[in-house]
């Protein structure tokens, strides 16, 4: 499982010109699910995202989590995180989980955040063409992989 976590002042996602999710301060999380991913990896990455201390404290040090600042999480599925472009110029996505595995895991991640945190959890739409807008804060971008 791979996540690109961006600290944002705001972020939104649109599908067919309609906003499906939007947050103010928080994390935009682009999530890629590998064909071999397990529930243990899902729980690890969700826990890591929820506790990742990348927001500034009163002294300007990155010492607070999204939960500490009462931020939101915008979770967007992105199979292209598993692109392999080692050969040629057209990426292969063979390592990305097929939709019949990836979609239930994505939905499970959404539920994990809703149950385990009190954060505003917003989402994109699995498998849709999406337009994602964000205003980076920092910018701070962290890549997590398990």
Contacts of 23 (CB under 8 A, 6+ apart): 8, 10, 11, 12, 71, 72, 73, 74, 120, 122
For residues 27 and 134, the answer to whether their CB atoms sit within 8 Å is: no
Specify the CATH number for the domain of residue 22: 3.50.80.10
Which entry of 25, 55, 79, 113 is annotated as an active-site residue?
Answer: 79
Q: How many domains does the chain fold into?
A: 1
Question: pLDDT confidence of 100, banded at 50, 70, 90?
Answer: very high
Residue 122 designated active-site:
no
Residue 74: the pLDDT is 98
3-state secondary structure string across 61-93: CEEECCCCCCCEEEEEECHHHHCECCCCCCCEC
Predicted pLDDT of residue 39:
96
Q: Extract the tokens encoding 52.
A: 């990742």
Residue 126 bears catalytic tag: no
For residues 29 and 80, is the Cβ–Cβ distance under 8 A? Answer: no
Task: Determine the structural domain holding residue 104 and report its residue range.
Answer: 2-145
Residue 55: active-site member:
no
Q: Exactly one of 78, 113, 122, 123 is catalytic; name it.
A: 78
pLDDT tens digits for 30-57?
A: 999 999 999 999 999 999 999 999 999 9
Among 35, 38, 80, 141, the one annotated catalytic: 80
């Amino acid at each position: 499982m791979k996540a690109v976590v961006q600290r944002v002042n705001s972020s939104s996602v649109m599908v067919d010109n309609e906003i499906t999710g939007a947050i103010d301060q928080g994390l935009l999380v682009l999530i890629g699910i590998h064909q071999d991913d397990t529930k243990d990896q899902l729980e690890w990455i969700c826990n890591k995202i929820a506790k990742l201390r990348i927001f500034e404290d009163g002294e300007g040090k990155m010492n607070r989590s999204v939960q500490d600042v009462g931020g939101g999480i915008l979770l967007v599925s992105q199979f292209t995180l598993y692109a392999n472009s080692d050969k040629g110029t057209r990426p292969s996505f063979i390592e990305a989980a097929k939709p019949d595995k990836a979609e239930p895991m994505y939905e499970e991640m959404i539920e994990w955040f809703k149950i385990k945190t009190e954060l505003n959890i917003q989402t994109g739409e699995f498998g849709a063409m999406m337009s994602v807008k964000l205003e980076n804060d920092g910018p701070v971008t962290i890549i997590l992989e398990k």
